[in-house]
Structure 1
Amino acid sequence: MSAAAVLGWLALSALAPGAAHLRAGRRRTGLILLSCYVAGLFALLAVALTTDNLLGSLTQDSWLTAIVVGAVSLGVAWFVVIVHSFVVLRPGRLPQSGQILAGTLAGLLAVVVVVPFGVVANNVWTYQKTLGDIFTGPEPVESPVQAGQKPPEDPWTGRERVNLLLLGGDADDNRTGVRTDSMNVASIDVKSGNTVLVSLPRNLENVRFRPGTPMAQRFPGGFRLPADPGGGRSDLLNSVWEYADAHPEIFGGRRHQGPQVLMETIGYTLGLEIDWYALVNMWGFARLIDAIGGITITVEQDVVFGKYNEGLVKAGTRKLKGADAMWYARSRTFSDDYTRMRRQRCVLGALLGQADPATVLARFNRIALAAKELIRTDIPRSMLTNLVPLALKVKNAKVTSLQFVPPLISTGYPDWDKIRELTAKAVRDSTAATSAVAASATPSASDGTSSPKPGKSAEPGKSGPPTKGLTEGCGAG
């Protein structure tokens, strides 16, 4: 047998363990190896086809640990198989030059076959550690998926929507506390993934607190403080978290009440029950954008930034790095809060649309590191089993945006009833769109009535709230 033949059978053994043993006449060993290989492939296929909510299950520690252990074990086993295959092919019968060539390439092949298993083990271990670092919220009294039990058919226990508070904070090493300059509530239909993204301006004044809460007792007429020495205000909506954290005496000495207070306050403002929050550090967000290789955005006009207006994001369609994307989203120079809110919506839309699975897999470790540095949340780890498939629905569903900015509302004298009414209407329309799509898939009723069109209200005579697509208006002047 020539050196080329030895290497050919080794390469075949890397794809089908046991092939080299069969060629060398060791039929029993070869058949055992091939049988184990085929049985393993069928076992993996069976797990993939029979496991309900496979992607959600891959957030559980038991699954992730099993994958890491399995990948390491298989890597070692594959290495041993390649080495043993080389031995049974009896390379000692080759000329000395052939032995050197075959031995060198066989060693390289043995190392190469281990690499994919090492990459899988490393990525999964990184993923598991990242999940543990980010999702540290208290577990519900009854976890939605108990160990050893099948997930319930309806993980949301009959609820139609899940409401997540998405915050952009400006915490920094040289700044005390957290100011939430970007505040959005994602109200998600659990059946279709249709989502309403409701945005509140940072400078909303006289914020009302939920009756009966400590903040409502402290500010019965709304959140109002004396003006700052420089004339600015520290009693706007974006200061609620920071104020609550700075005054534990209001809560009987309990510290770090900012997140819960802001969830209650925004939920009360919109007339929604907020389930969880996720706070994104805006500059950590820039690192996430860099991790996926940047995002492509149409900048409608030059955006100036910097203390001395020294920075510039030029107009035009281009791929922006993280820092430029964040300045595009955050700058108020020669602009205002409401234009900035629109630009932030454009950045979110671009990230949602351009973070495809291939990019995420290729840059996994960088994305995981960036995510760990940028996200703070109270979502329990166990809820990821249900939130992962819901997030996949959102990516392919209809996402609309409702922004409470002038002239729709006055930030100085907000019409709270109007805010709640428009929010409720936007949520109803999102749910109605789901029902209409479901109804259109069934035969028409015998009475000849028709279902409302997707996105339209079923209530006659009432116009919908001023919602728009997530990226509608992006790139426009």
Structure 2
Amino acid sequence: MSTDTAAPPSHRRGRARNGRARRPRRLGRRIGLGLLVLLLLAGGTGYWLYSELDGNIKGVDIDDAIGKDRPEKLPTSGQNILVLGSDSRAGANAGLKTGNVAGARSDTALVMHIPEGRTEAVAVSIPRDTLVSRPECTKADGSQVAPAERVMFNSIYAQAGPACVVKTVEKMSGVRMDHYMEIDFAGFKDLVDAIGGVTVTVDQDIHDTSSGLDLTAGTHRLDGTQSLQFVRTRHGVGDGSDLGRIGLQQEFMTALLGEIKRQDLLGSPAKTYKIADELTSALTTDSELASLTALAEFGRSMNGVDPARMETIMLPVQYDATDPNRVVAAEPQASALWKAIREDADIPESAKKSPANGGRS
């Protein structure tokens, strides 16, 4: 989850250590930050009894900030949630050595679609270097931000705030976001530290002066700071691609979820409280979800989702014609993807193919 801006024109897909090409990512093996957050909310019902956690959660009135200039809600009971991982350098994040860029960015962005019936889900990852059209937005202080073309997606958070990110996603997709969730870097670090670290295995030395990560090939137990460096690293592994780093982030989240399951953290009230305290302290949601009661109810509604039928894919993108270090939505794949989500329909396989990723999802 890095905030440096250049991305090389070559975005080769990673390969497993046995040399075989990786299959399309499924939740059972690859899980993004947003999926982890929702699974924690859905799986740990006991910790919602701790009323003091309620004050940890920050709320953003997305509806008020955007107004009525939004797509219509789904005619079904399906849900769409925008999940952001932010890297603000303010507050507890200021001391984190995870890069050299000031300000704040939405480094990880997932549009989670949960179809009617709540038995399956798909998460669409939007690459941070995607060039998009930013609509006119209202900032938290009431000031206006003019619309702009060819804006890098992950810069919108700093330019105009989270409500503008939601509005931008809605404009580019035609999909109404029912909810918004955000977790910051400091919260990510503290969550990893709260569970005692996460074990990862790397098949080559990683020395990345930009992220600060310095690992030899082999198995390592990463603390919170090292975990942040790991998911943000780009220059020290593979071809240095931004698209390839999406897979690295998802692989780490798989290890994190596995660690939670291995320690039975969601089955122990004391351990669950510790995780929940860190998670809610780092969590910002839309105003409708900004309470334990609302989050608990939403979590319970997710209990019927079958993890085997949850899938993460990347928004189909292609290299920009004038700037090979940037990508743009690939057509007609992107439009077909968003259309399927709007209609609560199955996503065609053709809509998962990304030209910038070798024609793979």
> TM-score scaled to structure 2, two decimals?
0.64
Q: Percent identity?
A: 24
> Is residue 128 of structure 1 aligned with residue 51 of structure 2?
yes
Aligned to 1:372: 280
Evaluate the alpha carbon distance shift between residue 275 and residue 299 of structure 1 in structure 2; reply closer, same or farther with a 3 A threshold.
farther
Evaluate the alpha carbon distance shift between residue 341 and residue 140 of structure 1 in structure 2; reply closer, same or farther with a 3 A threshold.
closer
Aligned to 2:295: 384
Matched to 1:269, the amino acid is M
Evaluate the alpha carbon distance shift between residue 426 and residue 294 of structure 1 in structure 2; reply closer, same or farther with a 3 A threshold.
farther
Q: Which runs of 5+ in 2 are unaligned?
A: 1-40, 65-72, 95-100, 355-359
> TM-score scaled to structure 1, two decimals?
0.50
Asked whether the 8 Å contact 1:187–1:197 carries over to 2, the reply is yes
Larger relative strand fraction = 2
Evaluate the alpha carbon distance shift between residue 331 and residue 398 of structure 1 in structure 2; reply closer, same or farther with a 3 A threshold.
same
In structure 2, what is the Cα distance between the partners aligned to 1:315 and 1:301?
Answer: 4
In structure 1, what is the Cα distance between the partners aligned to 2:188 and 2:165?
Answer: 21
In structure 2, what is the Cα distance between the partners aligned to 1:372 and 1:185?
Answer: 20
In structure 1, what is the Cα distance between the partners aligned to 2:60 and 2:114?
Answer: 20
Matched to 1:331, the amino acid is T
Asked whether the 8 Å contact 2:315–2:352 carries over to 1, the reply is no
Evaluate the alpha carbon distance shift between residue 139 and residue 185 of structure 1 in structure 2; reply closer, same or farther with a 3 A threshold.
closer
Aligned to 1:465: 352
Deviations 1:119-141 (A, max 9, x none): x9xx766x322133215456999
Evaluate the alpha carbon distance shift between residue 363 and residue 277 of structure 1 in structure 2; reply closer, same or farther with a 3 A threshold.
same
In structure 1, what is the Cα distance between the partners aligned to 2:137 and 2:60?
Answer: 22
Evaluate the alpha carbon distance shift between residue 178 and residue 276 of structure 1 in structure 2; reply closer, same or farther with a 3 A threshold.
farther
What SS does the corresponding residue of 1:167 show, helix, strand or coil? Answer: strand
Ranked by relative contact order (alpha carbons within 8 Å, sequence separation 6 or more), the top structure is 2
Aligned to 1:419: 334
Aligned to 2:146: 218
Matched to 1:183, the amino acid is A
Aligned to 2:183: 280
- Pick aligned residue for 1:297 from 200, 218, 222: 200
Aligned to 2:226: 324
What SS does the corresponding residue of 2:264 show, helix, strand or coil? Answer: helix
> Is residue 209 of structure 1 aligned with residue 134 of structure 2?
yes
Q: Which runs of 5+ in 1 are unaligned?
A: 1-54, 60-119, 142-155, 224-234, 245-257, 433-455, 468-472
In structure 1, what is the Cα distance between the partners aligned to 2:319 and 2:123?
Answer: 16
1:329 deviates by 0.9
Matched to 2:124, the amino acid is V
Once the two structures are superposed, the pairs formed by residues 56-455 of structure 1 within 5 Å of their partners are: 127-134=50-57, 136=59, 159-173=76-90, 174=94, 177-205=103-131, 207-210=132-135, 218-219=146-147, 222-223=149-150, 235-244=151-160, 258-307=161-210, 311-334=213-236, 335-356=240-261, 358-360=264-266, 361=268, 362-378=270-286, 379-381=289-291, 382-394=293-305, 396-404=307-315, 407=318, 411-415=326-330, 418-425=333-340, 431-432=345-346
In structure 1, what is the Cα distance between the partners aligned to 2:207 and 2:174?
Answer: 37
Aligned to 1:28: none
Evaluate the alpha carbon distance shift between residue 317 and residue 260 of structure 1 in structure 2; reply closer, same or farther with a 3 A threshold.
same
Deviations 1:250-281 (A, max 9, x none): xxxxxxxx111110101222331112221111
Deviations 1:259-318 (A, max 9, x none): 1111010122233111222111123202112212333434343333334x8632334455
In structure 2, what is the Cα distance between the partners aligned to 1:295 and 1:236?
Answer: 32
1:330 deviates by 0.6
What SS does the corresponding residue of 2:352 show, helix, strand or coil? Answer: coil
1:331 deviates by 0.9
Asked whether the 8 Å contact 1:187–1:427 carries over to 2, the reply is no
Evaluate the alpha carbon distance shift between residue 390 and residue 131 of structure 1 in structure 2; reply closer, same or farther with a 3 A threshold.
same
The number of aligned residues is 280
Evaluate the alpha carbon distance shift between residue 124 and residue 162 of structure 1 in structure 2; reply closer, same or farther with a 3 A threshold.
closer
1:218 deviates by 2.6
1:349 deviates by 3.1
In structure 2, what is the Cα distance between the partners aligned to 1:310 and 1:162?
Answer: 38
Aligned to 1:45: none
In structure 2, what is the Cα distance between the partners aligned to 1:188 and 1:262?
Answer: 20
What SS does the corresponding residue of 2:113 show, helix, strand or coil? Answer: strand
1:397 deviates by 4.3
Evaluate the alpha carbon distance shift between residue 383 and residue 139 of structure 1 in structure 2; reply closer, same or farther with a 3 A threshold.
farther
Evaluate the alpha carbon distance shift between residue 167 and residue 463 of structure 1 in structure 2; reply closer, same or farther with a 3 A threshold.
closer
What SS does the corresponding residue of 1:339 show, helix, strand or coil? Answer: helix
1:427 deviates by 7.6
Evaluate the alpha carbon distance shift between residue 168 and residue 310 of structure 1 in structure 2; reply closer, same or farther with a 3 A threshold.
closer
What SS does the corresponding residue of 1:192 show, helix, strand or coil? Answer: coil
What SS does the corresponding residue of 1:193 show, helix, strand or coil? Answer: coil
In structure 1, what is the Cα distance between the partners aligned to 2:199 and 2:342?
Answer: 30
In structure 2, what is the Cα distance between the partners aligned to 1:182 and 1:201?
Answer: 8
Deviations 1:120-179 (A, max 9, x none): 9xx766x322133215456999xxxxxxxxxxxxxx996342111111111124486421
Larger relative helix fraction = 1
Asked whether the 8 Å contact 1:402–1:466 carries over to 2, the reply is no
Structure number with greater Rg is 1
RMSD of Structure 2 on Structure 1 (CA): 3.9
